[in-house]
Amino acid sequence: MEADHQPSPLPGPTRYADTRYGRVAYTDTDPHGASALPPLLFVHGNSASRKVFHAQLADDFGGRRLLALDLLGHGDSDDATDPGAAYTQRGHAATVAGLLGVLGVDRVVVVGWSLGGHIGLELVARFPGVAGLVVTGTPPVNRDTLTEGFLPTLGYAGTETVTPAQAAEFAAQITFSPPPGWIVDDIRRTDGRARRLMFESFAAGRDSDQKALVAASPVPLAVIDGRDDPFVHHAYVASLTYAALWRGAPTVLEGRRHAAFLEDPAGYDDLLRAFLRDHGL
């Protein structure tokens, strides 16, 4: 994909819902819930927005309802009214669960990228309707294994204030080099407190032990990572015990980096369809 590639327009209008810590913006391809299949919910990463999933939202998943939101402090959503509570992995998961409640969704398959994958793992622990989970760029860690699961290249991921040049550098790490302008814009729009507080909370052990969670949870889990992801320590991810890992091992895509779904949408979406098919979802 060329670095100057611009996303297709998001399908349908931007919708809004009030949640505990602020109004969230979201896309819903089937607002009437006509499909009997569990919806796919896409959750973006740190300092991004739902626009990163534009290709998935435009794809055909058998008429399935597709949902994607902007986390609080990101994209078209509000900054959180209580940043200390909302800008943690658990806080974001509570916001996602709140949105699902507003929409009347009681069963869902979550696709989470980077921070979105961690939020998906938190959601497994608090929302019993998670029927399946796909994570990309998301090593399941706890406070003690944080430095084992991630490579020492996180850069500005936890930095509250970033300059325009730093935003462009961060964008190149998480997507393409040089990065698309809209990715840089998303980083610059993000409430910087969301970056800082999220990292402080996780380092302090206030979020779930995700290493233990994947070892015990019966929820079908797919781990799909790019071989050249600059953040993920693949050996650590492969070394973990999983209770319900798709195909028995992480799926590692050669030639892909942190945002494999954006770099190769067709290939990634085929994997999503295979995961759904294999688990009868």
pLDDT of 3 over the 50 cut? no
> Which residue in the block uniquely carries the two structure tokens 């796919």?
40
Give pLDDT, residue 120.
Answer: 98
pLDDT of 60 over the 90 cut? no
Quick check: 184 and 176 in contact, CB under 8 A?
no
For 66-95, the pLDDT digits (tens) are 999 999 999 999 999 999 999 999 999 999
For 127-162, the pLDDT digits (tens) are 999 999 999 999 999 988 988 999 987 778 889 999
Quick check: 109 and 133 in contact, CB under 8 A?
yes
pLDDT of 10 over the 90 cut? no
For 182-211, the pLDDT digits (tens) are 999 999 999 999 999 998 998 787 888 999
Quick check: 191 and 78 in contact, CB under 8 A?
no
pLDDT of 4 over the 70 cut? no
Give pLDDT, residue 8.
Answer: 59
CB within 8 Å of 63: residues ≥ 6 apart: 30, 34, 35, 37
Other beta carbons within 10 angstroms of residue 164's beta carbon come to 10
Position 7 confidence tier, pLDDT thresholds 50, 70, 90: low
Other beta carbons within 10 angstroms of residue 153's beta carbon come to 11
pTM exceeds cut of 0.85: yes
For 27-57, the pLDDT digits (tens) are 999 999 889 999 999 999 999 999 999 999 9
β-strands 22-28, 15-19: how paired?
antiparallel
Average pLDDT over residues 259-280: 97
| C-alpha–C-alpha distance, residues 148 and 154, integer Å | 13
Average pLDDT over residues 169-183: 91
CA distances to 20, 118, 177, 217, 245 from 202, rounded to whole Å, are: 21, 10, 29, 20, 24
Give pLDDT, residue 2.
Answer: 36
Higher-confidence residue of 169 and 11: namely 169
Q: Name the 3-class secondary structure at 91.
A: helix
pLDDT of 230 over the 50 cut? yes
Average pLDDT, the chain: 94
